[in-house]
């Protein structure tokens, strides 16, 4: 049970990174009062009288409780989609512990499943295994409103992040994509030290604050990993943004490009990484992290709830995530951005929707997906349920649960899925959440610096054996290096040697080959 609790907390924190707000300015070309983007009529949106609706099966991950029956919600959504696109829907929510297994099993057994959210960051794998349907023609014919929303909220190049071998294979969730590294802290403890957030302008400012925390609260841990098993301090996220490093859609770190050099290198052999883990080693030796940081079973949320932890570094979009974390921890949590975000392809194609390659109704699936992204009523019925029964509207953009009900006791809600589905600018948000934060996140989508390799997607199929060996090496060394528990002067050379023995250079050469080919095609 405790292991499942940690998994759930981790995935909920991921969801908070991408958690949507709601509403937004009415898109250009949308008539006042119309919930659907009006950029022209997509072919086949509505059927002629008498034509039988086609049913679409949609699997999605939920962080809320799963009701005993989805019939009520399926019918409410289908009532809308039958009228708008002559399709019906069978929504199948799964919890975070078993979602990937259920989806992968369905794909392998050809069980009926038309729309699905692939495992986080595994876009290329599903394409390489021929499990995703090419969407180019479907988007052109049935997804014009959806595309208008994506291009308005991010930019006209958004499908570059989901294009492989010349075809679009997925549609990114339309949300705040920029998740910069943030200093996340208990503001009440910070104030008691005499410091304020104005004293934090870079990561180099944190040690003086951690010293003050230790002096005032000797038993408190100043810095706690965002997650454990394995230990995750988000050092690589910080380095990636601070030094404009493109991971080339591979989180292993073996084969990255720094800046606009065009040269693929091993992140772990760079001075950037060496200096980063030396900083963590200093933090560890000064007692900023717990001595058992590599083996502890307590993550940041659990530690701060218990009053034993002060801060962490997390990747969060917008400015409102602190309120959501505060509600989870029952503490006063705020955050301060350490460096701006740096857009690479993975920022966009980590959370995407695919149509199964075995779907017998791909046209209907795209018609339905188009509505999820462009129709406020359809989207919010999936997320919040039925108005008056599952939620109550407070104003144009905000909702709350009915009197006497909570997210745990209401018959249906999928509100915690908001960052994984549809367009953030059409979603309702809970009462008390700032509406302006949505517009801020979408503004950052358009203005945040993008890697010159945005759109490049590495296909790992030719080096799967090497990746398996590399992951084993990483699991052995990285938790201790990223947390400072291991001495980098002693351990880093062994780590690099073992990576090279596992085939790191082969991976780097394959990435360079694919990157050079991709660059030649961009001319």
pLDDT of residue 13: 39
What is the pLDDT at residue 121?
79
Summarised one tens digit per residue, pLDDT across range 385-407 is 999 999 999 999 999 999 999 99
What are the distances in angstroms from CA 413 to CA 384, 390, 410, 431?
5, 7, 7, 15
The pLDDT of residue 49 = 58
> What pLDDT does residue 303 have?
95
Taking the C-alpha atoms of residue 176 and residue 318, their distance in angstroms, rounded to an integer, is 7
In tens digits, what is the pLDDT along the chain, a chain of 523 residues? 444 443 334 344 344 433 333 333 332 333 333 344 433 334 344 544 578 999 999 999 998 999 999 999 999 999 999 999 999 999 999 998 889 999 999 999 988 999 999 988 789 999 999 999 999 999 999 999 999 999 999 988 999 999 999 999 999 999 999 999 999 999 999 999 999 999 999 999 999 999 999 999 999 999 999 988 888 999 999 999 999 999 999 989 999 999 999 999 999 999 999 999 999 999 999 999 999 999 999 999 999 999 999 999 999 988 888 887 887 788 999 999 999 999 999 999 999 999 999 999 999 999 999 999 999 999 999 999 999 999 999 999 999 999 999 998 999 999 988 889 999 999 999 888 888 888 899 899 989 999 999 999 999 989 999 999 999 999 999 999 999 999 999 999 999 999 999 999 999 999 999 999 999 998 7
How do beta strands 115-116 and 167-168 pair? unpaired
Q: What is the DSSP letter of 169?
A: -
Nearest to 268 by CA among 235, 230, 242, 295: 235
In sequence order, what DSSP letters do the residues of 153-165 get, joined into one string? HT-TTGGGGGEET
3-state percent breakdown (helix, strand, coil) of the chain, nearest 5: 45, 15, 40
pLDDT of residue 46: 53
- The per-residue pLDDT for 362 is 98
Residues 346, 350, 354: CA angle, nearest 5 degrees: 130
The CA distance from 180 to 491, in Å, is: 29
pTM above the 0.95 mark?
no
Question: What integer pLDDT is reported at residue 328 of this predicted model?
Answer: 78
CA distances from 293 to 274, 289, 499 (A): 20, 7, 23
pLDDT for res 228: 87
**Separation between Cα atoms, residue 170 and residue 390, nearest integer Å:** 31
CB 3 within 8 A of CB 11: no
Contact 114, 361 (CB under 8 A): yes
Residue 485's closest CA among 187, 277, 316, 314?
277
- What pLDDT shows up at residue 32? 30
Helix ranges, 359-503 (H): 362-374, 376-384, 436-447, 464-483, 488-502
CA distance 254 to 8: 29
Secondary structure class of 355 (helix, strand, coil): strand
């Amino acid at each position: 049970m405790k292991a499942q609790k940690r998994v759930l907390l981790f995935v909920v924190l991921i969801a908070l990174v991408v958690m949507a707000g709601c509403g937004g300015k009415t898109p250009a070309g949308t008539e006042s009062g119309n919930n659907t983007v009006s950029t022209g009529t997509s072919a086949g949106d509505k059927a002629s009288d008498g034509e039988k609706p086609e049913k679409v099966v949609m699997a999605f991950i939920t962080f809320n409780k799963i009701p005993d029956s989805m019939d009520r919600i399926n019918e409410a959504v289908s009532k809308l989609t039958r009228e708008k696109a002559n399709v019906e829907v069978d929504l199948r929510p799964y919890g975070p512990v078993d979602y990937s297994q259920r989806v992968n099993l369905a794909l392998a057994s050809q069980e009926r499943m038309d729309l699905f959210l692939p495992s986080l960051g595994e876009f290329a794998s599903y394409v390489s295994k021929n499990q995703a349907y090419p969407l180019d023609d479907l988007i052109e014919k049935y997804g014009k409103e959806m595309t208008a929303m994506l291009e308005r909220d991010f930019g006209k190049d958004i499908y570059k992040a989901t294009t492989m071998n010349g075809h679009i294979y997925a549609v990114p969730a339309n949300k705040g994509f920029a998740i910069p590294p943030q200093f996340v802290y208990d503001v009440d403890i910070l104030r008691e030290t005499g410091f304020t957030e104005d004293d934090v302008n870079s990561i180099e400012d944190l040690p003086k604050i951690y010293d003050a925390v230790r002096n005032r609260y000797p038993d408190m841990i100043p810095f706690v990993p965002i997650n454990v098993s394995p230990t995750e301090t988000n050092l690589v996220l910080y380095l990636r943004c601070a030094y404009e490093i493109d991971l080339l859609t591979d989180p292993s770190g073996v084969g990255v490009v720094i800046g606009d050099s065009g040269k693929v290198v091993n992140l772990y052999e760079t001075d950037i990484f060496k200096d980063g883990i030396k900083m963590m080693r200093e933090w560890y030796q000064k007692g900023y992290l717990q001595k058992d940081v590599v083996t502890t079973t307590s993550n940041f949320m659990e530690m701060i709830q218990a009053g034993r932890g002060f801060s962490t570094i997390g990747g969060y979009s917008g400015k409102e995530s602190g309120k959501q974390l505060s509600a989870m921890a029952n503490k006063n949590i705020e955050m301060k951005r350490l460096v701006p975000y740096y857009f690479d392809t993975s920022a966009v194609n980590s959370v995407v929707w695919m149509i199964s390659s075995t779907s017998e109704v791909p046209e209907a699936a795209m018609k339905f997906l188009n509505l999820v992204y462009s129709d406020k009523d359809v989207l919010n019925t999936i997320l919040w349920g039925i108005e008056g029964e599952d939620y109550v509207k407070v104003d144009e953009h905000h909702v709350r649960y009915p009197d006497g009900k909570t997210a745990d006791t209401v018959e249906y809600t999928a509100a915690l899925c908001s960052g994984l589905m549809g367009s953030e600018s059409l979603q309702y948000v809970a009462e008390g959440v700032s509406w302006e934060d949505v517009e801020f996140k979408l503004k950052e989508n358009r203005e945040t610096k993008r890697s010159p390799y945005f759109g490049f997607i590495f296909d790992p199929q030719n080096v799967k054996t090497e990746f398996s060996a590399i992951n084993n090496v990483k699991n052995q060394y990285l938790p201790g290096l990223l947390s400072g528990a291991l001495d980098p002067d002693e351990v880093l050379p062994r780590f690099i040697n073992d990576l090279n023995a596992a085939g790191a250079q082969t991976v780097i050469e394959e990435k360079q080959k694919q990157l050079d080919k991709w660059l030649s095609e961009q001319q």
